[in-house]
Structure 1
Amino acid sequence: MPSRTIPPAAIAVNRPAASGPIVVSVPHAGRIYPPEILAAARVDRRDLERLEDSWCDRIAGGARDAGATVVEALWARAVADCNRGEGQMAPGEVAMPLRAQFSTPGRKERAGLGVVPTRLADCGPLWKRPIDAAALDWRLESFHRPYHAALADELAAARARFGHAVLIDLHSMPSIPPGQPEHGARIVVGDHFGATAGRWLVDLVMASAARLDATVVRNQPYAGGHIVRTHGRPGQAIHAVQIEIDRSLYLTSERLPDAGRIAHVARWFSDLVMEAGQARPESEIFPQAAE
């Protein structure tokens, strides 16, 4: 019997030589497509690649040297979306026996952007058949659950060592089109309307992002997805923000990295990691201690 092919690792956890309280999450920039995924697809790989936060991992390239632990998805978003919860699917996108457990889909799930992406505009269904229990379990067990377990472990370790932990969930976004709220914004900082991070962290990130000379907004149109909502618990000293960066800030019109611009944004992100790692959230809790 021929030996079974060992699949490549789905995630990577890159720890710094001298650790700090910052954990960086890069969930959508993976470019590995397991054979099972390509075999199940009814569209070309190029269509599946449209789901990616193209080359967003390059922005986090210096974060480890700046003191952050970087948890990075290596498998593509087409396998499973780590920024969606396990219950986020539309019933029409799954096999009949699974439909009862996905009875209350939201707008994104109805559009085919659930925990397993199933449709894209002008592309139609992505898969040859609805997602069945075996396919769903494989995607969750191989990729989605290990990703969240790694985040939880690293955040718990950081909090135990430093008394608090900070999660920065890094994404890219298409330019916000005319007529939509916050058109013209190039960076969106999400803390789920104050629920996932202390104001000290949000203010720090907003001020840092403004130094890129780009319009920065908070929570619109991206307030923060499943990752920050799951792991951000400011009352337990774990603060989480989501950062969306307009791809036009670092990609060419062909969606390829522009070396100069991506280096500029990456330097900014490394500086943000260092600044956030040196900040002390206690200053927000006890603002008059020095008086």
Structure 2
Amino acid sequence: MSIPHAGRIYPPEILAAARVGRPELERLEDGWCDVIASGACAAGATVVQALWARAVADCNRGENQMAPGEVAIPLRAQFSAPGRKERAGLGVVPTRLADCGPLWKRPIDRAGLHWRLESFHRPYQAALAEELAAAYDRFGYAILIDLHSMPPIPAGQPGHGAGIVIGDRFGATAGASLVDLIVEAATRLEVPVTRNQPYAGGHIVRTHGRPERGVHAVQIEIDRSLYLTPDRSPDPARLAPISEWFAELVKRAALVSPAAEVPPLAAE
């Protein structure tokens, strides 16, 4: 499985370059998702987890996902077609938050971008691809669960009120039986569950999910208000059952027959 946004390490260079404080940078994190997945290895999963903070590099974005206005002038030509998230400052290097403006004192330059990609983003992608290939070679299939947390979905947005969002790029990245199993398991937490709204899956599931080739990828978003206190610290009493649920989900997927449509869980 993949946990790309749970890192909590901030290099001194990053804090020195920021025009906002560490608390603002921490808002980018998928707070404590690694604790939710703490039982996943014992349940049969291989975990690829980012240790460095999302402010350093967003491992759930492609290398070309940046808005031209967020980088130094010599780099702008290579980022000529930004999408909605990139225009909002949530590219491969996060550059702004809606209510506090730019995150960095200067636009991202070539040396800074290269350092972030080469030191953090590319090693993560390589490790994930390696584990998926190993699982496929061993079992003939691989299942990738990409775990995230989300803020409460505001009123008026698709999926408002959902506690869990399951994303499979509208059926493109995983077999239907796997997704149905995950949706059914999510309902056991007794919170509203939606599929692909408002999060259909980002770079990781889009890149690796190839069900026609035996690689199935599903993104899971969990409302962090279900397990964090208002100051964004873990609430042990509410976190424990979610962590137990996630480990059980891994175990259930591992028991699926290899002859079925959905392969057995190997290494995510």
Q: Same fold (TM over 0.5)?
A: yes
Instruction: Indicate which of 22, 41, 59 corresponds to 1:82.
Output: 59
Q: Which residue pairs with 1:42 in the alignment? A: 19
Which 4+ stretches in 1 moved above 6 angstroms? none
Instruction: Indicate which of 181, 186, 199 corresponds to 2:158.
Output: 181
Q: Distance in 1 between matches of 2:258 and 2:81?
A: 37
Q: Which residue pairs with 2:108 in the alignment? A: 131
Q: How many residues align?
A: 262
Cα deviation digits, residues 105-129 of structure 1 (max 9, x gap): 0111001000000000111111110
Q: Which has the larger radius of gyration?
A: 1
Q: Distance in 2 between matches of 1:198 and 1:204?
A: 10
Q: Distance in 2 between matches of 1:165 and 1:229?
A: 15
Q: Distance in 2 between matches of 1:190 and 1:98?
A: 32
Q: Which residue pairs with 1:249 in the alignment? A: 226
Is the 1:88–1:114 contact (alpha carbons within 8 Å) kept by the matching residues of 2?
A: yes
| 3-state DSSP of counterpart to 2:10 | coil
Instruction: Indicate which of 33, 38, 50 corresponds to 1:73.
Output: 50
> Gaps spanning 5+ residues in structure 1: where?
1-23, 286-291
Relative to the length of structure 1, the TM-score reads 0.88
Q: Aligned AA for 2:93?
A: V
Q: Distance in 1 between matches of 2:105 and 2:257?
A: 51
Cα deviation, residue 235, structure 1:
1.1
The answer as to 2:133 corresponding to 1:147 is: no
Cα deviation, residue 28, structure 1:
0.3
Cα deviation digits, residues 23-52 of structure 1 (max 9, x gap): x11110100001111111111111100100
Is the 1:200–1:281 contact (alpha carbons within 8 Å) kept by the matching residues of 2?
A: no
The answer as to 2:69 corresponding to 1:105 is: no
Q: Aligned AA for 2:168?
A: D
Relative to the length of structure 2, the TM-score reads 0.96
Q: Distance in 2 between matches of 1:78 and 1:280?
A: 40
Q: Aligned AA for 1:152?
A: A
Q: Aligned AA for 1:185?
A: A
Q: Aligned AA for 1:162?
A: F
Identity of matched residues, %: 75
Cα deviation, residue 284, structure 1:
2.5
Residues 281, 118 of structure 1: CA spacing in aligned structure 2 closer, same or farther, 3 A cutoff? farther
Q: Which residue pairs with 1:30 in the alignment? A: 7
Cα-Cα RMSD = 1.0
